[in-house]
Amino acid sequence: MTKEKNYILEVNNLSKIFDADTEQEKDVLKDVSLKVDRNEFLCMLGPSGCGKTTLLRCIAGFESYKGSVTVNGVERTKPGTDRIMVFQDFNQLFPWKTVEKNIQYPLKLQGIRDKQELKQRTEEVLQKVKLSGQEKYYPYQLSGGMKQRVAIAKALALKPEIILMDEPFAALDAMTRNELQSELLRISMEEKCTFIFITHNIQEAIVLGTRIVVLAEGGRIVVDEKNAIARPVTPASEGYGETWERLHSALYQ
């Protein structure tokens, strides 16, 4: 029992079938098992259609599945604030709420009513994503990168056990993307929080992850390794080239 407690997240024999009992029946995930340590930054790489997004959605509780997902040893089947999802889509903020309210609304739902505390938490997380002073804007007034920053801030404010990120930077231009990567790296090192980060970008995985997993069709784990490269990682870092090659060949084998 005590051994199991060490893991923040355990995925056991998770299977997911799309279009069950029809001709298009497809095993998206087949018997996937995964254990994640506390405060790990797990980057999940995989080709399109390998089921990585589905796996993340199962963990978040948005999908039904066979198998089990436990957080801190407790089984979870429904969405909850212990696992907060940051989507790829910029439009994940509620357009009818200002930046501030978007961040505070889930906090209020958690029962935090004290105005001072709400305000303080908002300021704190906005500072972390470098958006101080933008509280009163509506989402439509923000750029894509800013929206993603708010989404991350919103997740941080809730102090979840795990933040699930589904290619949050994939739709950004290269410059903003690099910027946000380093912001996220800094945040992940400061925060006591576990991240599961999906990407199809090898560079991103090496830069951000403390552990890198490569999935193949059906959610089969073909690579699962600690990222030993010293942080912050740049293409000039020692071991970068070999790691890149290894992951690349695993991805496109």
Partner 1 sequence: MNDKNRQIHAFAARAVFVIVLLLIWEYVAKSGMMGEKSELIFPSLEAIGDAFIRNFIQGYAGISLWVYIGNSMKLLLEGLLIGVVLAFLLSGLSMVSKIFYDICNLVISVFDLLPGVALLPVVIIIFGVKPGVIVFLVVHAVLWPMSRNVLDGFLAVPQIYVEAGMNMGLKGASLLWGVYFPAATSYIVSGLKVGWARAWRGLLSAEMIFGVASCPGIGLFINQMRTNMNNAEMYATLVVIIMIGLVVQYGVLSPIEKCTVKKWGMSR
The residue within the footprint of partner 1, chosen from 3, 23, 96, 116 (CB under 8 A), is 96
CA triple 27-33-39, angle to 5 deg: 130
Cβ 151 to partner 1, closest distance in Å?
Answer: 9
Give the interface size with partner 1 as a residue count (CB under 8 A).
25
Could you say which residues in the range 44-63 bind partner 1, by CB under 8 A? 60-62
Q: What does R_g of the chain's alpha carbons equal in angstroms?
A: 18
Residue 92 within binding range of partner 1, rule CB under 8 A: yes
Contact 144, 177 (CB under 8 A): no
For position 89 contacting partner 1 by CB under 8 A, the verdict is yes
Q: Which stretch binds partner 1 (CB under 8 A): 10-18, 31-39, 84-92, 176-184?
A: 84-92
| Nearer to partner 1 (CB atom), residue 37 or residue 94 | 94
Residue 140 within binding range of partner 1, rule CB under 8 A: yes
Q: Does 91 bind partner 1 (CB under 8 A)?
A: yes
**For the purposes of burial, counting CB atoms within 10 Å of the CB of 175, is it exposed (0-12), middle (13-18) or buried (19 or more)?**
exposed
Sign of CA dihedral 217, 219, 220, 224: positive
Question: N- to C-terminal Cα distance for the chain?
Answer: 38
Eight-state DSSP code of residue 233 = P
Q: Which is nearer to partner 1, 89 or 217 (CB)?
A: 89
Cα–Cα distance measured from residue 91 to residue 81, given in angstroms and rounded to the nearest whole number: 19
Residues that bind partner 1 (CB under 8 A): 60-62, 78-81, 83-85, 87, 89, 91-92, 94-96, 105-106, 109-110, 138-141
